Structure 1
Amino acid sequence: MRSSLGFAAICVALIAGSAQAKEVGDYSKLPKDLAAAATAYDIAQFKADKAELERVLADDYTLAGTSGKNQTKAQFIADQTAPGNKTISVDLYDQVSKVWADGAVLAGMVDAKGSNQGKEFTFRGRFVDVWAKRNGRWQVIYTQIHPVQ
Structure 2
Amino acid sequence: MKKGFFLIFTLFVLALNTQAQTQSKDEKEVAAAVAKLRQGMLDGDKNALDQVTSADLTYGHSNGKLEDKATFISVLASGENDFVTMDVTDQTIKILGNTAIVRHNFSAQTNNGGTPGSTKLGVLLVWQKQQGKWKLVARQAFKLT
Normalized against structure 2, the TM-score is what? 0.74
Equivalent position amino acid for 1:102 in 2: N
The one-letter code matched in structure 2 to 1:67 is N
User: Deviation at 1:84?
Assistant: 5.9
Match of 1:137 in 2: 133
Partner of 2:42: 46
- What amino acid sits opposite 2:108 in the alignment? A
Cα deviation code 1:8-52 (max 9, x no counterpart): xxxxxxxxxxxxxxxxxxxx8352332332222221111111012
Let me know the Cα RMSD of the aligned residues.
1.9
Question: Secondary structure at 1:131's aligned position in 2?
Answer: strand
Residue ranges of structure 2 left out of the alignment (5+ in a row): 1-21
Counterpart Cα distance in 2 of 1:65 and 1:108: 14
Q: Which has the higher contact order (CA 8 A, sep 6+)?
A: 1
Asked whether the equivalents of residues 125 and 136 of structure 2 are also in contact (C-alpha less than 8 Å), the reply is yes
Deviation at 1:95, TM superposition (A): 1.6
Aligned length in residues: 122
Partner of 2:57 in structure 1? Answer: 61
* Paired residue secondary structure (2:51): helix
TM-superposed CA distance for 1:127, in Å, is 0.5
SS of 1:52 mapped into structure 2: helix
Q: Of 26, 29, 51, which aligns to 1:33?
A: 29
Following superposition, the deviation at residue 53 of structure 1 comes to 1.0
Question: Cα offset for 1:83?
Answer: 2.9
Alignment CA distance shift 1:67-1:35 (3 Å): closer
Q: Which runs of 5+ in 1 are unaligned?
A: 1-27
Question: Which amino acid in the other structure matches residue 29 of structure 1?
Answer: Q
Correspondence 1:147 to 2:143 = yes
- Does residue 123 of structure 1 match 2:97? no
CA–CA separation in structure 1 for the residues paired with 2:43 and 2:84 = 12
The 10-residue stretch of structure 1 (34-43 or 81-90) with the greater mean CA deviation from structure 2: 81-90
Q: Quick check: which has more Rg, 1 or 2?
A: 2
The alpha-carbon distance between structure 1 residues 39 and 93, as it changes in their structure 2 partners (threshold 3 A), is closer
CA shift for structure 1 position 57 = 0.5
Q: Percent of aligned positions with the same letter in both sequences?
A: 25
Q: What residue identity is the alignment partner of 1:52?
A: A
